[in-house]
Chains A and B, each alone.
Chain A
Amino acid sequence: AQTVTQSQPEMSVQEAETVTLSCTYDTSESDYYLFWYKQPPSRQMILVIRQEAYKQQNATENRFSVNFQKAAKSFSLKISDSQLGDAAMYFCAYRSWMSGGTSYGKLTFGQGTILTVHP
């Protein structure tokens, strides 16, 4: 079974600065997806960024980028030019490539990292 670990329960950053959230995972599969989801207080979870394991290029979405190290099984999220609206719980999640068998595309989440943005 796959596991996802986020070792930083809480992080903080000053507005306009850069912060990196860490995530490691364990899997025996060679192909899979990795995701970062954002969950603002009392609001629904939204997708921030996704990475296909077969792609060597790190995914980017505007101010959000990842550092994907497949051999190390590491998947960190970098938020540049942090904004007050970035304050939320961030979850790293894993999904198998093959949506069948015992997987069916279910997401396995880490414990989450609470990000606080100071003005």
Chain B
Amino acid sequence: DTGVSQDPRHKITKRGQNVTFRCDPISEHNRLYWYRQTLGQGPEFLTYFQNEAQLEKSRLLSDRFSAERPKGSFSTLEIQRTEQGDSAMYLCASSLRELSDTQYFGPGTRLTVL
């Protein structure tokens, strides 16, 4: 079963460093979402791709954040000049429009900024 995978699962970094996360969606899923989840809260939407096009970005996504999905398959989320407030779980989800568009989530990447 090839579900949504994310790498790394955990990342500890120092404030001011850049980090990059990767998400591999379910094969053939054309939609990919990034969410951020802080401890004890529900996930919040960050950005969305349909194929390789980034169609929506949340206001939560400051200019230090950038996401790409270069070939419409895997996606990367980069955070530049990390701040302690960036510490959170970053979740990726994918869906296939033609199949009820249910979003399937990956295990997440937990980021800790020291």
Contacts and interface: CB of A to CB of B under 8 A. Distances in A.
Decide if the interface of chain A is mainly helix, strand, loop or mixed.
loop
A109 B104 CA distance: 15
A62 interface: no
Interface residues of A, number: 22
Interface size class of B (residues with CB under 8 A): 20 to 34
A112 B48 contact: no
B15 to A, nearest CB: 25
Interface string B30-45: 0101010000111111
A106 B56 contact: yes
B105 interface: yes
Given A102-B56, A104-B50, A112-B40, A45 B105 contact: yes
A99 B56 CA distance: 12
B91 interface: yes
A93 B42 CA distance: 9
A104 B106 CA distance: 19
A19 B48 CA distance: 35
